Amino acid sequence: MAVQSTLRGSADPLAALYHQYTNLLRQRLKRTSKATRLLGACLLALSIIAGWAGGKRWWSKRTAEKEQGQRLHRRNSGLKNKDGSRVIFVPYKDSISKVTIHPTKPLTFDAHRRLFLNPPRASGLAGGPYAAQIPPPQTKPGLNLAFLHQFLSLLSIMIPRWTSKETGLLLSHGMFLMLRTYLSLVVARLDGEIVRDLVAGRGRSFIWGIIKWCGIGSFASYTNAMIKFLQSKVSIAFRTRLTRYIHDLYLNDNLNYYKLSNLDGGIGQGADQFITQDLTQFCAAAASLYSSLGKPFIDLLVFNFQLYRALGPLALTGIVSNYFLTATILRRLSPPFGKLKAVEGRKEGDFRGLHARLIANAEEVAFYGGASMEKNFLDREFRSLRKWMEGIYTLKIRYNILEDFVLKYSWSAYGYLLSALPVFLPAWGGLGGIQELADAAASGGRERGRMKAFITNKRLMLSLADAGGRMMYSIKDLSELAGYTSRVYTLISTLHRVHANAYPPQRGTNPELYSLSDVQGTIQKGFDGVRLENVPIVAPSLFPRGGEELINSLSVIVHSGEHLLISGANGVGKSAVARIVAGLWPVYRGLVSRPRSTGTDGIMFLSQRPYLSVGTLRDQVIYPDGEPEMRERGRRDIELKRVLEEARLGYLPDREGGWDTRKEWKDVLSGGEKQRMCIARLLYHEPRYAFIDEGTSAVSSDVEGLLYERCKDKGITLITISTRASLKRYHTFNLTLGLGEDGTGWEFERIGTDKEKMGVERELMELREKLTKVDEWKNRKAEIEQELAKVWVEGEVLNPPEYMEGETASEAQ
Ligand SMILES: Nc1ncnc2c1ncn2[C@@H]1O[C@H](COP(=O)(O)OP(=O)(O)OP(=O)(O)O)[C@@H](O)[C@H]1O
């Protein structure tokens, strides 16, 4: 027959493989003996029974696990494993799903530090004189070596091992991508055959072709759906890895979550936008890039090969040079999408941050009636974001016109030209040209042959154009990915810097006094007491600036049972002392000694603003412990009830509906109740030492006294920060800050000493003396008022008005 597909010569490799193995299996089965078959049947039966028993056990274990999960979820609780991992239970659909979280090993962080803090010089990310910023400002997010280094560094977190789950996901994704390419090839061939049969008027073949088309179509749809599904799975798997890694680095004993925005400042206001939005977009872009680059790449290889066979080397040269030309033009003319996206991310973050701030302080703003001011801030931020985005869209218009024209229309025209090669230049037209020459010798059917070859080639060309187009579109996607990559890399590098306390002095400059590059103090943990020796109290500034000295050199020691009151005017640095002992602020010079642990048997800090966590009522009392820790310590709800009663909050469990009630506690409890809840935490944890920063300022003085006495009875040594002199009676020592002319002096004295008593008596005598003069002052006051009541007119004195006369008369009486 004259009509032959140019592709028919290539036997379908998958079909051949399938036939070969089914034949092999059939032959093997025919050759087996009766005994072997019997043995096989027995083994099959045994495995079915074993499978059933195993399945039953698995099912009952799962049911028990679910019940336990539901109970623990209700209590906002989980399980702790011996290897340090935690099992938590999260609602999933109508049931509860179990999630095991393994903490990142400290060694992993150490190993990664090289990637994030010490990048190769060639990448252009090495700090140089700009170590204050990561990445340095001269590195623009875009398609460059810096992007490659950043992406590979993040990849080492997203795919930590070849044996990890993500590798499996990527492999199966890749398999489906290849399957899809193969199906496109089959579809292209089938398309040609159907048109050929239609033109030839062969009804049966035509119908058979349509049936095959539908079958392949449904399989192709399944493949497409799986590709999308696996892409989302890859994206969420990447996100899970990165989020857990970042959380482990962000929320740990080194207090990185505090230091990141209060001391380092490398990522601006906060990490929330980075961890939520930017990370999601990065993972989605990275996962889609795999298919948007991977699939077209496979398509390009396969289709180019097929077209090379069908249309000859001239066409292939044309196609390949077309790619290079297009890629060069688009790359030259594409705006810096990476940089644009990175800035957009930052602006989105600022806008979102303002909203979060308003939600957190809604009550305060409402009392002030500050809605219009807040609206101004929000509108201004949104306007800036809008302007930026409009700018991006305007830049995109020009690029999109060019991109569309080049990729859709000029490529199609080029495709027609290439498909016509076998017809007009058979000698240059590959297999198609040979076919053309053969058909020319035979009589009839030439047009039909051309038609089928053209349809097949045209479809291949379309798929190729589509693949090539997607590759080219990926240039833009890649640039945007570079922007997201830069944001996520910046976050992780900054976290590593905070974690490792890596603040090298800036080259060519001397570090400022009290800069993070020049921290020389020592913290000694494991001391039974609190001691500061020649420690300057310094309010830090964001790196690389130096901090502001509040107190030149403080030396204090607090032993067990010697309660200390820290007093002084506002802003002199009372809370700063607590921040330094807690490790929030650096110890620039001198020595700070404190107990090793925070919490039970160690030291606790109650901040000036009472904090209430999300979770149940129980969680509020036992914070920062969770329920698993509480059970581990062998503590029971009945003890919590007693603790609440001691803090004068015994009515709460009944009022709020039990220990497992979850509410927005910061809105439910009053100011005084919040402070008493914090005292309840102290009574629950029973630390040896406790800093209480204005912890009872909203509590009535009688209850305040009771709370202090209760804490002392429990053996807690109190270090109170307060301006209330009445609190002196519960303390042994008093540290007064902010003395002297410049306010950097301090005095440490025992309360109730002779010196102090003399001071009080002197004050009493002065007051008594003043009281003796009261009558004298009263008479003088009356005289002045009488004088003032007269109205002077130039030259004469008018009598006071009538109503004043009555008043002066009554006063005189
Ligand atoms: N995170 C911070 N970064 C830099 N400076 C800060 C920070 N927090 C507070 N300061 C500054 O440090 C100084 C001391 O603050 P601190 O909170 O210790 O005052 P205080 O004596 O406790 O005052 P108050 O009685 O009002 O609570 C203040 O001038 C304050 O502006």
pTM as predicted: 0.76
H or E element in which residue 796 lies: strand 796-798
Percentage of the chain exceeding pLDDT 90: 37
Q: Which residue's CA lies nearest to atom 8 of ligand 1?
A: 539
pLDDT band (50, 70, 90) for residue 402 = confident
pLDDT number for residue 437: 55
Q: How far is the CA of 702 from the centre of ligand 1 (A)?
A: 29
User: What pLDDT, on a 0 to 100 scale, did the predictor assign at position 801?
Assistant: 60
**ipTM score here?**
0.94
| Domain 142-500 identical in fold to domain 520-763 | no
pLDDT value of position 611: 93
Chain segment 35-90, per-residue pLDDT in tens:
888 898 999 999 999 999 999 999 999 888 888 888 888 777 788 888 778 888 88
pLDDT digits (tens, 9 = 90+) for 420-429: 666 666 666 5
Instruction: Determine the distance separating the centroid of ligand 1 and the alpha carbon of 537, expressed in angstroms.
Output: 11
* Pairing between β-strand 603-606 and β-strand 522-525 as defined by DSSP bridges: unpaired
Q: Provide the pLDDT for residue 338.
A: 75
Residue 573: pLDDT over 70:
yes
Task: Find all residues with CB under 8 Å of 208, minimum gap 6, and list them.
Answer: none
Model confidence at 595: pLDDT above 90 = yes
Which numbered atom of ligand 1 lies nearest the CA of 541?
Answer: 4
- Residue 550 alpha carbon to ligand 1 centre in Å: 9
Task: Indicate whether 581 pLDDT > 80.
Answer: yes
- Best of 514, 550, 566, 719 for a ligand 1 pocket test (most atoms within 8 Å of beta carbon): 550
Name every protein residue with a CB atom under 6 angstroms from any ligand 1 atom: 262, 539-540, 550, 570-576, 608, 723
* Closest ligand 1 atom number to CA of residue 579: 18
Mean pLDDT (whole number) for 597-603: 89
Which residues have C-beta within 8 Å of that of residue 146, sequence separation ≥ 6?
123, 124, 125, 135, 139, 486
Given a cut of 70, whether residue 106 has pLDDT beyond it is yes
570 CA distance to ligand 1 centroid (A)? 8
Q: How far is the CA of 639 from the centre of ligand 1 (A)?
A: 37
What gap in Å lies between CA 461 and CA 319, rounded to an integer? 10
The residue that leads in pLDDT, 3 or 630, is 630
Residue nearest to atom 5 of ligand 1 (CA): 539
- 485 versus 754: the higher-pLDDT residue is 485
Cα distance between residue 517 and residue 503, in whole Å: 5
List the one residue out of 810, 751, 742 whose CA is nearest residue 782.
810
- How far, CA to CA in Å, does 550 sit from each of 413, 515, 544, 631, 795? 75, 15, 19, 44, 60
- Burial of 696-713, coded b for 16+ CB within 10 Å and e otherwise, reads beebeeebbbbbbebbee
Q: Ligand 1 centre and the CA of 306: distance in Å? A: 73
Query: Atom 20 of ligand 1 has which residue's CA nearest to it?
Result: 571
pLDDT, position 680: 95
Determine which residue's CA is closest to atom 14 belonging to ligand 1.
573
274 pLDDT more than 50: yes
Residue 8's pLDDT is what? 45
pLDDT at 471: 74
- According to the model, what pLDDT value does residue 422 have? 65
Closest C-alpha to ligand 1, atom 12: 539
Cα-to-centroid distance, 607 and ligand 1 (Å): 13
pLDDT of residue 232: 92
Q: Read off the DSSP letter of residue 662.
A: B
> What does the alpha-carbon distance between residue 774 and residue 656 come to, in Å, rounded to a whole number?
55
Q: 670 pLDDT band (50/70/90 cuts)?
A: very high
Question: If you take atom 26 of ligand 1, which residue's CA is the nearest one?
Answer: 570
**Confidence check: pLDDT of 625 > 70:** yes
Q: Give residues with Cβ within 8 angstroms of 182, minimum separation 6.
A: 14, 302
Q: Where are the domains of the chain?
A: 13-29+40-101, 142-500, 520-763, 774-812
Per-residue confidence band for 567, with pLDDT thresholds at 50, 70 and 90: very high
Tell me which range, 220-234, 335-349, 392-406, is most confidently predicted by mean pLDDT.
Answer: 220-234
573 CA: nearest ligand 1 atom: 18
| Residue 14 · residue 181 · CB < 8 Å | no
Tell me how far the alpha carbon of residue 584 lies from the centroid of ligand 1, in angstroms: 13
Q: How confident is the model at residue 335 (pLDDT cuts 50, 70, 90)?
A: confident
pLDDT number for residue 297:
79
pLDDT band at 711 (very low <50, low <70, confident <90, very high): very high
Q: Whose CA is nearest to atom 19 of ligand 1?
A: 571
**What topology does CATH give the domain 520-763?**
Rossmann fold (3.40.50)
**10 Å Cβ neighbour count for 450?**
20
pLDDT band for 7, please (50, 70, 90 cuts): very low
pLDDT band of residue 440 (cuts 50, 70, 90) is low
Pocket test for ligand 1, best of 260, 551, 572, 607 (most atoms within 8 A of CB): 572
Q: Which of 541, 574, 697 has most ligand 1 atoms within 8 Å of CB, for mutation? A: 574
By alpha-carbon position, which residue is closest to atom 10 of ligand 1?
Answer: 539
Q: What is the pLDDT of residue 92?
A: 79
| Host H or E run for residue 226 | helix 203-250
Looking at residue 307, its amino acid is L
pLDDT at 359: 87
For the chain, give the mean pLDDT: 84
State which of 575, 581, 606 you would mutate to test the pocket of ligand 1, scoring each by most atoms of that ligand within 8 A of its C-beta: 575
Which atom of ligand 1 approaches the CA of 694 most closely?
27
Q: How far apart are CA 59 and CA 402, in angstroms?
A: 59
Confidence at 478, pLDDT banded by 50, 70, 90: confident
First to last CA, the chain: 139
Q: Say whether pLDDT at 128 is over 60.
A: no
Residue 443 has pLDDT above 60, yes or no: no
Distance of CA 516 from the midpoint of ligand 1 (Å): 18
Residue nearest to atom 16 of ligand 1 (CA): 573
CA angle 506, 510, 516 (to 5 degrees): 60
Tell me the CA–centroid distance for residue 720 and ligand 1, in Å. 16
Q: Strand, helix or coil at 689? A: strand
Is residue 558 pLDDT above 90, yes or no?
A: yes
Per-residue pLDDT reduced to its tens digit, 183-228: 888 888 888 888 888 888 888 888 999 999 999 999 999 999 999 9
Using CA positions, which residue lies closest to atom 25 of ligand 1? Answer: 570
Residue of minimum CA distance from atom 17 in ligand 1: 575
Distances (CA, A) of 235 to 166, 169, 250, 278, 715: 10, 10, 22, 13, 53
* Measured CA distances, 561 to 291, 543, 719, 720 (Å): 67, 39, 10, 13
Q: Does domain 142-500 have CATH number 3.30.420.40?
A: no
pLDDT of residue 58: 93
Query: What residue owns the CA closest to ligand 1's atom 6?
Result: 539
Q: Give the per-residue pLDDT at 591.
A: 96
Q: How close is the Cα of 574 to the center of ligand 1, in Å? A: 8
* Tokens found for residue 410: 């000029």
Residue nearest to ligand 1 atom 23, measured at CA: 571
Q: Using CA atoms, how far apart are residues 634 and 88, in angstroms rounded to an integer?
A: 20
pLDDT of 641 strictly over 90: yes
DSSP state letters, 152-183: HHHHHHHS-STTSHHHHHHHHHHHHHHHHHHH
Looking at residue 744, what is its pLDDT? 86
Tell me: pLDDT of 610 over 80.
Answer: yes
Question: What pLDDT sits at residue 245?
Answer: 95
Residue 319 has pLDDT above 80, yes or no: no
What pLDDT was estimated at residue 89?
Answer: 84
Compute the distance from residue 575 Cα to the ligand 1 centre, in Å.
7
Query: Does residue 672 surpass a pLDDT of 90?
Result: yes
Amino acid residing at 705: G
pLDDT tens-digit series, residues 136-158: 666 676 678 888 999 999 999 99
- Does the pLDDT value for residue 608 go beyond 60? yes
Question: Residue 352 is inside which H or E element, if any?
Answer: helix 337-360
* pLDDT at 1 exceeding the cut of 50: no
Rounded to the nearest whole angstrom, what is the distance from the C-alpha of residue 381 to the centroid of ligand 1? Answer: 28
Closest residue to atom 18 of ligand 1, CA basis: 573
Distance from Cα 572 to the centre of ligand 1, integer Å: 7
Pick the residue whose CA is nearest to atom 30 on ligand 1: 571
